[in-house]
Amino acid sequence: MPSLGLFLSQLFNGLALGALLALVASGLTIIFGTLGFVNFAHGALFAFGAYAGFLTYQASGSFVLALVVGAAATGLLGLLLEWGLIRRYYDRPPEDQILVTFGVGIVIVESLRAVFGGLTRNVPLPSWGNGILNLHYFFYPVYRLQVLGIAALALFALYLLIYWTRIGLIVRAGIEDPLMVRMLGIRVPRILTLVFGIGALAAGFAGVVDSPIVSVAPDVGSRVLVESFVVVVIGGLGSFPGAIVGGLIAGEILSLTSMINPAYSDVALYGAMALVLFLLPRGLLGTEGRI
């Protein structure tokens, strides 16, 4: 029987991991909701952000700057990708949209490997993230709490963007009724580019935040990609609240089951996904009528 301290510390781990997954998954959801397709390059963008942040951190010594530059660089890459390639795919069948983003993901990851090599790079904790906190029942690393806070703040920023701005209004309308939005002529290319950029930015930002915990490697994003798929399947693709709820559930499943038997934690996550699919094919917060 695990102790209360271990339980609580795993609960916090789950929250931090879940918030991060929610952030990645909400980028996926925003892109899906507006552009109508799933970005299989999302994990690669996560890795790209991590490397951009790592370089900035090395050069400047400031983790905050690394966060800003890493996220911005990934966002910029997203804008370029949409402008140069993705927009040619809006009228193509969904399989082609999946295929091209999948291919782009491979090119990004392999480019990272070609430039930085395949070895993992350790990213030191920021100076303000060092240390361990005594939370009475258990000791807990400060940075993980900060991750929770940073991810929550970023999610809040996304929330403001989606629910309180004009772009957000279009994003939400697109999720609600993509055809109608197109009919109204709102799908101006500039907004689509911007939305893809914002989705990429969320992935890149998460990549930087996560880098001191997992260290950086070219394929660091592939696991994140799969897990964020599980998140959106559980939460309901296209739903922003669904991404958050799904992210937290996934994070908790991963960390709480690993307390019992780490060998089964990943399997439990996919088992949960299968269960949700079985009972609620559209996910917890997914809406009826969309595929």
Partner 1 sequence: MKRSAGGRALMAEGIMAAVLLALPWLAPLLHVTADVLTRSLIWGLFGLGFDVLFGFTGLLSFGQAAFFGTGGFIAAWLLTSQTVSSVALALLIGTAAAGVYGLIVGYISLRRVGIYFAMITLAFGEMSFFLENSPLSALTGGENGLPGVPPPGIELFGRSYTVHSGWPMYAFIAVIFFVGYVIARRIIRSPYGMVLRAIRTNPRRTPAVGHDVERYKLSAFVLAAIYAGLAGGLLGLFQGYMPPDAFYLDTSGQLVLSTVIGGRGTLIGPLIGAFTWIDLREVLQQFPALGAAWKLVFGAIFVLIVTLFRRGIAGEIGALLDRRRRARSPLPEPAAPAQRHAAAAPVRARASTGPAILEVRNVAKRYGAFTAVEDISLEVREGELLAIIGPNGAGKSTLLNVLAGELKPSGGGIMFRGGDITHAGVIDVCHRGISKTYQINQLFPDFTVCENVEIAVLAHARGRFRADCFRSLDADGSRRARAEAILDKVGLLPFANHPTAEMSYGEKRRLEIAIALANEPRLLFMDEPLAGMSPVERAEAVQLIGALATERTVVLVEHDMDAVFRLADRIVVMQNGVKLAEGTPEQIRNDADVQQAYLGGVDGHEPA
- The binding site for partner 1 (CB under 8 A) comprises 32, 37-38, 85, 88, 94-96, 98-100, 102-104, 106-107, 110-111, 113-114, 118, 222, 226, 229-230, 232-233, 237, 262-264, 266-267, 269-271, 273-274, 277-278, 281, 291
Closest contact distance (angstroms) between CB of 127 and partner 1 is 35
Question: At closest approach, how far in Å is the CB of 7 from partner 1?
Answer: 22
140 vs 229, which CB is nearer to partner 1? Answer: 229
CA distance 199 to 26: 8
The SS3 call for residue 44 is: helix
- 79: tokens are 């804008």
HEC per residue, 220-241: HHHHHHHHHHHHHHHHCCCCHH
Q: What's the CA dihedral at 206, 211, 215, 218 to 10 degrees? A: 50
Buried b (16+ CB within 10 A) or exposed e, 1-17: eeeeeeebbbebbbbbb
Compare residues 1 and 291 and give the one whose CB is closer to partner 1. 291
Minimum distance of partner 1 from residue 171's CB (angstroms): 18
Structure token digits, residue 283: 């996910």
Residue whose CB is less far from partner 1, 184 or 280? 280
Quick check: helix, strand or coil at residue 71?
A: helix
Comparison of 7 and 270: residue with beta carbon closer to partner 1 = 270
- The CB-of-38 to partner 1 minimum distance in angstroms stands at 5
61 Ramachandran zone, left/alpha/beta (phi>0; psi -120 to 50): left
| Closest approach of partner 1 to the CB of residue 13, in Å | 18
Looking at the Cβ atoms of 130 and 261, the one nearer to partner 1 is: 261
